[in-house]
Chains A and B, each alone.
Chain A
Amino acid sequence: GEDVEQSLFLSVREGDSSVINCTYTDSSSTYLYWYKQEPGAGLQLLTYIFSNMDMKQDQRLTVLLNKKDKHLSLRIADTQTGDSAIYFCAENYSGNTGKLIFGQGTTLQVKP
């Protein structure tokens, strides 16, 4: 099946770490992605991880991949008010590498 699930809302204090979680169903996905969407804007690619990796770090962002449980997480260190946005997890459907399957998005609210 094709399904990506995310929790809908996360609220953190400025300076804290944020962890956004995602589960997916296609165990043959090649890449898994995190995109950020600010109000009224398109999708910004934050990071992606190849399916044979367990972890990827990019400045304040850390992605963890647990293939056994089909679980992906995005940790944002030292969260800032500018990080407030909707975060989408996506997998590329193995049957067609051009098709990304997105979750519903997690709204991250950062309080000062």
Chain B
Amino acid sequence: ETGVTQSPTHLIKTRGQQVTLRCSSQSGHNTVSWYQQALGQGPQFIFQYYREEENGRGNFPPRFSGLQFPNYSSELNVNALELDDSALYLCASSSTSSGNIQYFGAGTRLSVL
């Protein structure tokens, strides 16, 4: 167990809807990264948050957005859901004082119908 918790575990949405996924980072960690893992693929970096600001972004459109809160927890928001957004969404937390080694949560499985 890493101490990184994600909610909900599963979610079903329809195309065009909006979704919010949540992540609580491990105690002592100040950085949160989000990844999308499509079936049969490796995780793809969406973005990272540090000091409540986006600190790097992968090749994802602006309808993917996020927040980090003062307690270092984070949200991933996806607007105008598309069928291809169906995936496992993984959150990882890390500490800038410990080499940014990333520890992952169990993920949120999103299905878009």
Query: A: which residues have CB within 8 A of B?
Result: 4, 30-31, 33, 35, 41-45, 48, 88, 90, 92-93, 96-105
Contacts and interface: CB of A to CB of B under 8 A. Distances in A.
Given A41-B106, A100-B35, A103-B42, 14 more contacts: A4-B42, A31-B99, A31-B101, A43-B104, A44-B104, A45-B2, A96-B48, A96-B55, A98-B48, A98-B94, A100-B43, A102-B42, A102-B43, A102-B44
A98 B42 contact: no
Contacts of A88: 42-43
Interface in B2-21: 2, 6
Contacts of A98: 31, 33, 45, 48, 50, 55-56, 94, 100
- Interface bracket on B: 20 to 34
Interface of B: 2, 6, 31, 33, 35, 40-45, 48, 50, 55-56, 58, 90, 92, 94, 99-107
A93 B101 CA distance: 13
14 contacts: A30-B99, A35-B104, A42-B90, A42-B104, A43-B104, A44-B2, A45-B102, A93-B45, A98-B56, A99-B48, A99-B58, A100-B33, A100-B92, A104-B40
Given A35-B104, A98-B31, A102-B42, A43 B99 contact: no
Contacts of B31: 98
A45 B43 contact: no
A85 to B, nearest CB: 14
A21 to B, nearest CB: 15
